[in-house]
């Protein structure tokens, strides 16, 4: 973490220093890009292992 990075827990926020703003974080998981990402990752792994995608996807 950098010196400007803070750790937060659910329901707990510290007072921000003067001049700082807050931007909410909402990851919305699972994201709609999750399935294409996992499929691409499996294909890359299968290629690296020298097996077919169909075999690696079992």
Q: How many domains does the chain divide into?
A: 1
**What's the pLDDT band for 10 if we cut at 50, 70, 90?**
confident
Q: Is 25 among the domain residues? A: no
Domain interval for residue 41: 32-58
Which pTM does this prediction carry? Answer: 0.47
In a domain, residue 41? The reply is yes
Q: Is residue 39 part of a domain?
A: yes
**Cis before 30? omega within 30:** yes
Task: Indicate whether 49 belongs to any domain.
Answer: yes
pLDDT, tens digit, 9 for 90 and up, residues 17-51: 889 888 877 777 778 888 899 999 999 999 999 99
In this predicted structure, what is the pLDDT of residue 44? Answer: 93
Asked if the structure places residue 18 within a domain, the reply is: no
pLDDT of residue 26: 75
């Amino acid at each position: 973490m950098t010196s400007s990075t803070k750790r937060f827990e659910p329901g707990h926020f510290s007072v921000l220093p003067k001049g700082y703003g807050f931007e909410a974080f909402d990851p919305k998981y699972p994201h709609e890009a999750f399935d294409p990402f996992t499929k691409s990752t499996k294909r890359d792994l299968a290629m690296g292992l020298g097996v077919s995608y169909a075999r690696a996807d079992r």
